[in-house]
């Protein structure tokens, strides 16, 4: 039996799910809604979004792909489900699931998305291994997150506030190198949507076996 990492309790988001969008949409929504359509997903693509939360991203997916959203928090998923019903998003289904132990076979999805999750889970290596495992060879991993800044003063400021953000369930110290290290991927694009943004968009391809 492999040793499993303990699941994140996700209580911060669970308890505060009702005001999550009020607080976070202004920071997260536009970047997600610029990133997803720009991928030009082919019709019929199978897409997994881990840590889908209240579904800020759901309206960004084209209706001709098949999306599965998973999250640990039932309360967050309830909001996402209401959105699916309200907006007739019949191409999207939700499941309560721990991203650290994804219950999907290897090589299941053409795209695996993780928005604002990699710094929330207790073991980022394990999350990266899980999302890479369920991605098809040649499939895409799409990650949006704040990563450790290359500007030293910003990195130091983030280190300073890290004990506080830990209380709210996320860390500010995760670096790009640490993120991509444990998995066989090739980074295709890594960019910020504005020069001063703390958030990075990362698009990577899972290597095919022979690569
Ligand atoms: C910062 S929110 C991001 C939500 C959404 N992706 C967005 O961009 O608005 C983090 C989400 O990850 C979920 N989460 C935390 N740990 C998780 C885990 N181990 N498995 C699945 N979801 C998890 C939380 O419940 C929460 O909904």
Tens digits of pLDDT across the chain (211 residues): 333 334 455 577 777 888 888 888 888 999 999 999 999 999 999 999 999 999 999 999 999 999 999 999 999 999 999 999 999 999 999 999 999 999 999 999 999 999 999 999 989 999 999 999 999 999 999 999 999 888 888 888 888 888 877 777 778 889 999 999 999 999 999 999 888 888 999 999 999 875 5
Query: CA 191, 118, 163, 3: dihedral to nearest 10 degrees?
Result: -150
* Per-residue confidence (pLDDT) for residue 170, from 0 to 100: 77
* Residue 20 CB less than 6 A away from ligand 1: no
Dist. CA 21 → ligand 1 center (Å): 13
Instruction: Tell me how far the alpha carbon of residue 49 lies from the centroid of ligand 1, in angstroms.
Output: 10
The residue length of the chain stands at 211
Nearest CA to ligand 1 atom 9: 56
Stretch (H or E) spanning 130: helix 124-134
Contact (CB, 8 A) for 207 and 188: no
Ligand 1 mean position, distance from CA 114 (Å): 9
**What CA–CA distances, in Å, run from 203 to 16, 101, 200?**
30, 22, 10
C-beta separation of 29 from 66 below 8 A: no
**In which residue are the tokens 């290597």 written?**
207
Give CA torsion, residues 17, 144, 173, 154, to 10 deg: -110
Strands 135-146 and 199-206: antiparallel
Tokens representing 96 are 């309560």
Nearest to 207 by CA among 191, 185, 190, 192: 185
Give the Cα separation of 167 and 158 in Å (integer): 14
Entry pTM: 0.92
Supply the pLDDT for residue 211.
59
Q: CB neighbours of 49 closer than 8 A, spacing ≥ 6?
A: 57, 67, 68, 69, 70, 112, 113, 114, 115
Beta strands of the chain (E only): which ranges? 46-50, 66-71, 92-96, 109-115, 135-146, 185-191, 199-206
Distance 210 CA to ligand 1 centre (A): 33
């Amino acid at each position: 039996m492999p040793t499993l990492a303990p699941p994140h309790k996700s209580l911060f988001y669970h308890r505060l799910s009702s005001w999550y969008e009020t607080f976070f949409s202004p920071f997260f929504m536009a970047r997600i809604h610029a990133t997803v359509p720009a991928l030009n997903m082919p019709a019929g693509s199978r897409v997994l979004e881990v840590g889908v939360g209240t579904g800020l991203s759901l309206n960004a997916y084209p209706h001709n792909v098949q999306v599965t959203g998973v999250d640990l928090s039932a309360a967050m998923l309830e909001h996402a489900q209401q959105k699916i019903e309200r907006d007739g998003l019949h191409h999207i289904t939700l499941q309560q699931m721990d991203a650290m132990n994804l219950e999907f076979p290897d090589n299941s999805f053409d795209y695996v998305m993780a928005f604002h999750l990699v710094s929330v889970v207790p073991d980022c290596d394990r999350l990266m291994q899980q999302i890479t495992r369920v991605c098809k060879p040649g499939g895409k991993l799409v990650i949006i997150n704040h990563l450790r800044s290359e500007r030293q003063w910003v990195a130091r400021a983030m280190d300073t506030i890290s004990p506080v953000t830990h209380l709210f369930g996320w860390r500010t110290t995760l670096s790009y190198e640490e993120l991509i290290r444990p998995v066989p991927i090739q980074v295709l694009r890594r960019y910020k949507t504005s020069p001063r943004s703390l958030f990075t968009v990362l698009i990577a391809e899972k290597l095919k076996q022979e690569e």
